[in-house]
Structure formats: structure tokens, C-alpha cells
Homo-oligomer: A and B are copies of this chain.
């Protein structure tokens, strides 16, 4: 790959069948937009330049392209075809040698390996233009690759194909390698294909086709790679294939996916061998999951780091959290950003934790909210404990020392500290710091009104009978 390589990504005018207010190329697929995927695929073959030809400038394609480190040129659609062509010519005019790879942005399954094979073929054959082709079972609607008796390659657009040509199973995939400086790299003769004025890769070479030069077709052995996204159904379909790829690769690396058909795991995620993922799980972003960690049914995990031997029970939702080894969480736990669960700690059902450092061996088993807290080793947080971290103006911190015991149903009104080894009585509202090893109580005294409930029942009963219902 030492020859100079420029990739031009065609990302203009797509998505009329999406019925969407946003560009087709900006729709996400497993956490990345189609455009982002095309740029990453291009980057996988280490080109000198990546140029995205999008719609009008300024537009979100421009932002996305530049955000991903690519160049942008405005194609501008049918009405501005002349300026679009000028932009392409300007962008490429300085190129004198090497190859131009033209890549449509709506083929999210295309892999760098496949592009590399195309380029290798193109260079070995000393071709001026190499078309990627594939043999597929239903070639309807696609341009065909016609191989003449002398081996000459001709692209027949679908609309121009005669009955015999329509039976050709080899289609062209709108992916092309063009030798820069060759007879087919003729910027001056670039034209718009058809009346639609769509920028697709074909625009770049169809007119020059009849100008001579050596044309080759590289038939990819992975026809799945070239699936095109025209509709939202295509998007879902390619998403499913992409997911299959990810899941097969995870299984090959030693991960147990109980139900690969319902495991949605982004490719950025990294799961260690013997991690187990139950059905109906969604794992997003650059999540890391350690050996033997178990993810239960219905979990939704976004950008988390999960240590070895962690058990995440069903229906746990977490984002941007860190779980050290041997932590147990869930079911129905909710971990939010800047949560760290230290090793061996436990967070149970209906517990929300946010921006909290939760000490080794600490436990919060039930119905609690810990926000902006520091919780020491082996602390016991009783059911229904709430850190009152927000006073209407700012978020305040709660500190709980190691070995402390927070009785159930307590409120800790931050800023407040509970000392090491202290004990907060159940049902207390703690507004002042608690000394280490002390007992703190803050609740009403209990008193009783004998027979009150019976008297009330009887009165209600009487009133019901008399038609009134005032208790």
C-alpha cells in the first residue's frame, strides 16, 4: 500500500426513502452514523486523504465529516451540479499519481479488508479503473458487469440492460478504484449521470468509460459487504448483519452470548472470555467487561467498565460507571455517571447511585438514592436511605465513614458527614454531622391512641350506611 491513495466518499443527496428530517448518512447504526462508518472503513486502508462529497455547504454532513477528520466538498444536488463538479475537480486537481478510491457512504457492511483486496487486484492488474462487483441472487435494480469474450469489462446500468443482460448475476457495487493520471482519471470529462443529478460514484467514471483504458472488475467473495442502505428497512437489515458479525466475533473470542439474536453490543465494547450475556441486553459505547462477569436479562449498559466476576442482575441500567471486581448489582439498579463501585460491594433493587465512590464491601440493598457521596469500606446503607444532595441551588456532598451503619428510611441532608463506625437509627433525618462511633437519632417519638382505628372504622361504617361518607 505504498502507492498514494485518496478516498472519495460519496454522501450527497441520499435518503429520500427515509422520510426523515435528517440526512440518511447521519442515521446511526449500532452507535455510529453511516458516514462515520464509511470514514472509519476508509481510514482502515490508510489513505493520504479522505474527502467526503456531501450536499450543500454548510450542512450537517460537512460538520460530521470534519468532526471525523475528513475533508468536505459540497456536491450540492441536481440544481448545482456544475458547482459540484467544479468542487470535485478542485479537490482532486493537485493529485498526480497513485489511486483514487470512490466509496459510497451507504454501504455500512463494507470492510477495510475488502477494499484492500480491491486495491491489490487493481494494482496487480495495472488497471486504470477497477470496479468492485459481486454475484448476488437477486440482481434486480443494480447495474450489471458484462464481461466480453475478450475479457473486456462493461458496466450496464440497470435501466439500459436488455433482457439477456438482466439475467447477469454479477452486479457492480458502486465502489471503484481509479488510477490517478491514467486515461480514465479525466477530471475534465466528469459528468452527471442520468437526469436525477444524483452524486453517486458512477458519476465519476461513466462518461470516461468509452474513452478507453484498462478496466477490470474485482468480484468480492463477500457479497454481503456491499448491501446498500436505501430505506429504513435496509438500515435495520444491515444493522442485524453488523450485529451478527460482532456477535460471532465475540463468541469466537470466548464470550457466552445466550441469545445472539437479542444481544445488541456495539463494536467498541470489549468483553473478556467467559463473560456471559443473557438475552435482551443492550451494551453501548466503549464498555469493558471482565472475565466471568455475568450480565442478566434486560440490562442496558452504556460506556461502563465492569471488572472480573461481577454479577449484574436483570434489568440493571448503567452509564459511565466503574464496577470493580466481584461487585454485585441489581436487579433494577441504576448507576449513573461518576459512580465507582469498589470491589466486592453490593447495590440492590431500586437503588440509584450517581457521582459516588462506593467503598469496598459496602452494601445498599434496597430503594435508595446516593448522589454526590463518598461511602467508606463495609458501610451498610439501609433500605430507603436517601442523600438529600440538592437544596434547590447546588449539589452538596455526603460522606459516610468506613463501617458506619445507616438505618433504613433515613435521610442524610447534605452537606453532612457520618463518622467511621457510627450508627444512624432507622427513620432519622440527619442534618448535622455524626461523630465516629456514635449513635444518631432524629425522629419523632411514638405514641398511641387506643381504639382510635376501631372507632374510626365504626364511624365510617355508620356514615356509609346513612349515605354520607365523610370519615
The answer to whether B273 and A255 touch across the interface, beta carbons within 8 angstroms, is: no
Q: Does A233 contact B (CB under 8 A)?
A: yes
Closest to A19 in B: B254
Of listed A291, A430, A440, A469, residue having the most chain B CB within 10 A: A440
Within the complex, what minimum Cβ distance (angstroms) separates A242 from chain B? 12
Q: Which of A72-80, A83-91, A133-141, A276-284 forms part of the interface with chain B?
A: A276-284
Q: Does A3 contact B (CB under 8 A)?
A: no
A432 CA to B469 CA, complexed, in Å: 22
Q: Does A143 contact B (CB under 8 A)?
A: no
Q: Does A106 contact B (CB under 8 A)?
A: no
| Given A252-B233, A369-B383, A446-B430, A334 and B334 contact (CB-CB distance below 8 Å) | no
The answer to whether A423 and B456 touch across the interface, beta carbons within 8 angstroms, is: yes
Which A369-387 residues have C-beta < 8 A from chain B?
369, 371, 380, 382-384, 386-387
Number of interface residues of A (CB under 8 A): 108
Q: Does A257 contact B (CB under 8 A)?
A: yes
- Say how many copies of this protein the assembly contains: 3
| Given A298-B280, A382-B390, A443 and B440 contact (CB-CB distance below 8 Å) | no
A74 CA to B195 CA, complexed, in Å: 63
| Residues of B with C-beta under 8 A to A349 | 317, 334, 352
Which A291-344 residues have C-beta < 8 A from chain B?
291-292, 296-298, 300, 313-315, 317, 331-332, 334
| Residues of B with C-beta under 8 A to A350 | 332, 334, 350, 352, 367
| Residues of B with C-beta under 8 A to A314 | 282, 300, 317
Closest to A456 in B: B423
The answer to whether A20 and B437 touch across the interface, beta carbons within 8 angstroms, is: no
Q: Does A123 contact B (CB under 8 A)?
A: no
Closest to A348 in B: B352
Of listed A394, A407, A409, residue having the most chain B CB within 10 A: A409
A440 CA to B452 CA, complexed, in Å: 9
A99 CA to B390 CA, complexed, in Å: 73
**Residue in contact with A448 in the complex, picked from B317, B393, B438, CB distance below 8 Å:** B438
A245-259 contact mask (Cβ, 8 Å, vs B): 1 or 0: 000100111111111
Q: Does A453 contact B (CB under 8 A)?
A: yes
A441-471 contact mask (Cβ, 8 Å, vs B): 1 or 0: 1111111111111101100100000000101
| Residues of B with C-beta under 8 A to A191 | none
Within the complex, what minimum Cβ distance (angstroms) separates A422 from chain B? 6
A407 CA to B251 CA, complexed, in Å: 49
Of listed A21, A240, A314, A392, residue having the most chain B CB within 10 A: A392
Q: Does A413 contact B (CB under 8 A)?
A: yes
| Residues of B with C-beta under 8 A to A388 | 382-383, 407-409, 426-427
What is A's interface to B at a CB cutoff of 8 Å?
18-22, 27, 231-233, 235-236, 239-240, 248, 251-262, 264, 273-274, 278-280, 282, 291-292, 296-298, 300, 313-315, 317, 331-332, 334, 348-350, 352, 366-369, 371, 380, 382-384, 386-388, 390-394, 405, 407-409, 411, 413, 421-423, 426-432, 434-435, 437-454, 456-457, 460, 469, 471
A–B complex contacts, Cβ < 8 Å, 8 sampled: A27-B256, A232-B252, A297-B300, A300-B315, A367-B367, A383-B388, A384-B386, A411-B426
> Beyond the given A239-B259, A426-B429, A437-B450, could you list 14 further A-B residue pairs with CB under 8 A, ordered by the A residue number?
A233-B248, A261-B261, A298-B315, A314-B317, A332-B350, A369-B384, A388-B427, A391-B471, A392-B405, A413-B427, A421-B457, A434-B448, A438-B450, A439-B456
